[in-house]
Structure 1
Amino acid sequence: MHSDHRNYFKFTSKARLDKSVNALIGIVEGIVIDGQINALELDYLNLWLAEHDAVRDQHPFNELVPVVTAAVADGILTEEEHADIVWLCERLRSTEFYDDVTADLQRLHAIMGGIVADTHISVEELRALSDWMADHEHLKTCWPFDEVGSLITGVLADKQIDAKEHAMLQAFFAEFTPLLDDRTITSPRVLEGRQIVGLCAVDPEISFMERGFCFTGASSRFTRAEFEGVVKRLGGSAHSSPSKKVHYLVIGAEGNPCWAFACYGRKVENAIKLRKAGSRVVIVHELDFHDALADHGS
């Protein structure tokens, strides 16, 4: 466990279990959303279960997993099996720790992961996702709900998905899949005005003198205290949360299993709100931060 995570773990066991419940439900919804199941989607589900082995025998995993396994064992998902899984997912959805909005955003992230699990996104899957979103309009104004809706509307305008659109959708959906080494968002998109733009800056110009920095997630190279110390030595200031005084939010490459969402937490969420309200906070990946330090001889 990363040293920066130890202080959070003892306070977040219930939160992490609830997040895992909602994520598994979303993955199941995502891989069955078009009424079909294939080997790659099953591999994705099994990989997710393997990475969450510590909770697979706990309720409600021990209730949901056997039902899903039995339904997809023959590689064919009947309409009745699909309906049974969706019904069970709704019944097991957890809002004991998180509120409805956060719980359903956790599901949305996982649904996108389930859809992209077989590396192919179909028109049928997008339409089904659009239907799901229509039933969850309480998520409007919450990132990335509006962005997903805008992408779907634009892509389906001509009722087909071309190669460029498919690559864009695949890259965006995969941002919210925290498997293997990809623990944080790296190049997601955000809706600003009527345009979808990149959330994380590409090759950003990072200045330190009289600039405010906030950090989220963990790094394999620095502790949080070391990050803050470097910034202060270079004339900047460190802040505990995004605000109008923060110019850069740096996302640690190791992420944080205690985040509210799979690949980001409240600080990124708040930074996005500030961006949409007109603040010029720049969200940068840790690797770009290290490049900036090298440029400054640190």
Structure 2
Amino acid sequence: MHSDHETYFGFSLLSRLNKSLETLVGILEGISIDSIINAREIDFLNEWIRYCDDVRHLHPFNELIPVINTALADGVLTEEEKLDILWLCNRLDTNGVYVKGVLRDMQQLHGVLGGILADGKITEAELTGLTDWLSEHDHLKTCWPYDEVESLVSGVMLDGKIDDQEQLLLQRLFSEFIQLADDKTITNPPTLMGDQIVGLCTFSPAIKFEGSWFCFTGASPRFKRRELKEVVERLGGKFTDSMSGKVDYLVIGAEGNPCWAYACYGRKVEAAVNYRKTGRNVQLVHEIDFHDAVSDVLGT
């Protein structure tokens, strides 16, 4: 775990349990959304179990994980076994301790997207199932990332087929939600579809430091936040810890935060996306591109 997260980790146990439970529900829906569960998707589910190892002795996972392990013992997850696990998840959630409503459904959406991409390929059948899921959860409209996912999926499904470029766009967007341990954010910055930025980060951004406002979210494997602030100010920019309408660039660290409720990203990213929807020209920049821009300016 990144040192920037250690302060908060001990205070977020309940929220991490909540997120893990809802993510599991989403993963199960995602890997079976085309009515087929293959070996790579089973491996992905096993990876989720390994990720939850530090809480497997706690309720509800002390009840849930043994059931999952039994179901996966033969290397196959049948429809009945999946339904049994989902039933248990719902039963464990009936006492009101765990998250309800929009937050719960958003966490499940992240799991669904991760489950769909678990085998590295997105099919038309999976997008058909995802379209049905989105329709059943249309109360999430205007909440990031529901709108972005729905827009891209609708565009791709107009002709009922996924071409190579669309496959790449879908994989890049969905991959933002597949990191179970939240230790990485975007490994490949997304690209453009028409004049619309697909995903979060701007593709090959032109970063202007002089007079621009920068905010940072997540954690960097290379620098402390104080050091990033010093770099920005040395190049003529201004740094703020708060995401507001004055921010020109929100830099997303290459390490996520396991304490965040919405899988890979947190409140600042959601705020930046909402500002962008209203026409504010805030750019979301991956840390890799930020460091590249700094090197270009300094000539290093």
What TM-score do the two structures reach when normalised by structure 2? 0.87
- Residue of structure 1 in register with 2:21 after alignment: 21
Greater CA drift, 288-297 or 267-276: 288-297
Q: Is the 8 A contact 1:37 1:75 kept in 2?
A: no
- Residue of structure 1 in register with 2:123 after alignment: 122
1:61 Cα deviation (Å)? Answer: 2.2
Q: Does 1:165 align with 2:172?
A: no
- Residue of structure 2 in register with 1:212 after alignment: 213
What is the distance in 2 between the residues matched to 1:234 and 1:133?
A: 44
C-alpha spacing 1:76/1:226, structure 2 compared with 1 (3 Å): closer
1:181 Cα deviation (Å)? Answer: 8.8
C-alpha spacing 1:110/1:77, structure 2 compared with 1 (3 Å): same
What is the distance in 2 between the residues matched to 1:260 and 1:188?
A: 23
- Residue of structure 2 in register with 1:41 after alignment: 41
What TM-score do the two structures reach when normalised by structure 1? 0.87
C-alpha spacing 1:89/1:189, structure 2 compared with 1 (3 Å): farther
Aligned residues: 297
What is the distance in 1 between the residues matched to 2:192 and 2:242?
A: 20
Aligned counterparts, 1:67-146, within 5 A = 67-74=67-74, 78-92=78-92, 96=97, 100-146=101-147
CA-to-partner distance for each residue in 1:167-201, whole Å, 9 max, x for gaps? 33222212211147961135357999x94545312
SS of the aligned residue for 1:280 comes to: coil
Greater CA drift, 23-32 or 1-10: 1-10
What is the distance in 2 between the residues matched to 1:181 and 1:59?
A: 22
1:75 Cα deviation (Å)? Answer: 5.6
C-alpha spacing 1:273/1:23, structure 2 compared with 1 (3 Å): same
1:263 Cα deviation (Å)? Answer: 1.5
SS of the aligned residue for 1:283 comes to: strand
SS of the aligned residue for 1:175 comes to: helix
Identify unmatched segments of 5+ residues in structure 1: none
What letter matches 1:36 in structure 2? I
SS of the aligned residue for 2:117 comes to: helix
Q: Does 1:258 align with 2:259?
A: yes
Greater CA drift, 156-165 or 116-125: 156-165
What is the distance in 2 between the residues matched to 1:161 and 1:93?
A: 37
C-alpha spacing 1:294/1:80, structure 2 compared with 1 (3 Å): closer
What letter matches 1:237 in structure 2? K
Identify unmatched segments of 5+ residues in structure 2: none
1:102 Cα deviation (Å)? Answer: 2.1
C-alpha spacing 1:133/1:91, structure 2 compared with 1 (3 Å): farther
Greater CA drift, 104-113 or 181-190: 181-190
Q: Does 1:9 align with 2:4?
A: no
- Residue of structure 1 in register with 2:233 after alignment: 232
1:117 Cα deviation (Å)? Answer: 0.9
SS of the aligned residue for 1:158 comes to: coil
Greater CA drift, 154-163 or 112-121: 154-163
Q: Is the 8 A contact 1:35 1:78 kept in 2?
A: no
Q: Is the 8 A contact 1:147 1:196 kept in 2?
A: no
* RMSD over aligned Cα atoms: 2.8
1:55 Cα deviation (Å)? Answer: 1.4
Greater CA drift, 120-129 or 205-214: 120-129
CA-to-partner distance for each residue in 1:130-183, whole Å, 9 max, x for gaps? 222222122111122122222322233333333333333222212211147961
Q: Is the 8 A contact 1:110 1:176 kept in 2?
A: yes
- Residue of structure 2 in register with 1:276 after alignment: 277
Greater CA drift, 266-275 or 142-151: 142-151
